[in-house]
Amino acid sequence: MPVRRVCCIGAGYVGGPTCSVIAYKCPEIQVTVVDISEARIKAWNSDTLPIYEPGLDKIVTQVRGKNLHFTTDVEEAIQEADLIFISVNTPTKTFGVGKGRAPDLKYIESAARKIAEVAKDPKVIVEKSTVPVKAAESISKILKHNARHIPFQVLSNPEFLAEGTAINDLFYPDRVLIGGEESEGGARAIRELSTIYEHWVPKERIITMNTWSSELSKLTANAFLAQRISSINAISAICESTGANVEEVAHAIGLDSRIGSKFLRASVGFGGSCFQKDVLNLVYICEALNLPEVAEYWHQVIAMNDYQRKRFAAKIVDCLFQTVTGKKIAIFGFAFKKDTGDTRESSSIYICKHLMDEAARVAIYDPKVEPQQIKMDLTDPAILSDPAQYDKLVTVATDPYSASEGAHAIVVCTEWDQFKALDYQRIFEGMQKPAFVFDGRLILDHQKLTEIGFQVEVIGKVIRSAPQSP
């Protein structure tokens, strides 16, 4: 039976864009996105969406109110739906067994229990959130024991979206994975979900498999990508000590067809909601399966990322004559990557933490991150032990020029394109001397900066200062 009504529980970074594209590509399907947060749903129904993603606003505007709806009426949406996506947050646990590694599945369980409570007829349930292996089995058990003998099929359909390019990733996916039960009912449910994607995705890119393989594929993909970043960052440390250039090394090895060039850009470290969480999830699974050597192998990916951030922050302090106490440091970028307002696990947070620990005054500019989000991130007890220090140490600037006025250094933490086109001569003239630029994303014209007079420090290579005029 064709799917006519879709419900998505969770209106966040995955559920909102995914269901907006489904509604756009499948005009005959009614898509309802539900969330218990009234403020979030209100934002989805406004001209200012709760998340920034290039192209998303145009899609939402075209289909909202037609076959795309945002509501807090969870029960009605569940009852009317043929297929339900579960797309809720799965943060890393902060206490208890698996603290710091295992995902917290309380929102997944809550969604499953709500479905079991209100559903009156069979549904296909699709886990869209990043979950550990066998999460679908847990959802199935909850439904089976609480749903009054209503049959359900639970599928795994992991997302592979990169923030900043999510709409393009949804329009032109490398692959769509669908994992299901190896039974007649499971095959039927897989076919129903596949039919939705076939509206715009070539059939050969829709890959079906068993549920556990689908769940593990998601974690493995992100672990491999994070591993590549940590690997090139490890090489960047060698480059800085030997005089090699990490960009030249990355280009050379990227030409090897067995390796390829993607995710070989050295930086101050990876961030975002997925990489660290998924690698730690994989570490926890290995520990639970009594595979300590495998767990330690993958944990080193996270350890190298932490090391890169600390190393970069230490370089800032060292170059500024071993002290940044009371010095103004301009932070260019707070989002974890360009073209998003998401700050989860952003390297900027940790760079600011290390600088604030040294009593530096940080002036932060980001074109998409709201001031209240910056304050929330930097007043977290894990970042700033005394939240009262925030107002003394942190300023949120409205533009990069005011952020850098009177600063001893600029630290580029996010690769926003606008940072490449700034008037650095003007910035230099307004800074303390010697004026430093620390390019943590390798995006600026380093030769031009040195010619202006900046002292330039970057990841993975040594920049020679321009000779001074007599």
Q: Which residues are CB-contacts of 308 (< 8 A; sequence separation ≥ 6)?
A: 230, 233, 236, 237, 267, 268, 269, 459
Q: What is the largest CA-CA distance in the chain?
A: 88
* Distance of alpha carbon 408 from alpha carbon 380, whole angstroms: 26
Q: In this structure, are residues 268 and 310 in contact, taking their beta carbons and an 8 Å threshold?
A: no
Taken as a whole, the chain contains a residue count of 470
Identity at 190, one-letter amino acid code:
I
Q: Which token pair is 267? A: 């930086």
CB 173 within 8 A of CB 191: no
Give the contacts of 282 (CB within 8 A, at least 6 positions apart): 219, 220, 223, 298
Question: What span, in angstroms and rounded, lies between the C-alpha atoms of 41 and 207?
Answer: 33
Tokens of 10: 């969770």
Residue 152, phi then psi, degrees to nearest 5: -130, 155
Q: What's the half-sphere exposure (Cβ side, CA atoms, 13 Å) at 74?
A: 18
Which residues belong to the active site?
159, 218, 274
d(CA 169, CA 424): 35
Distance CA(137)–CA(141), nearest Å, equals 6
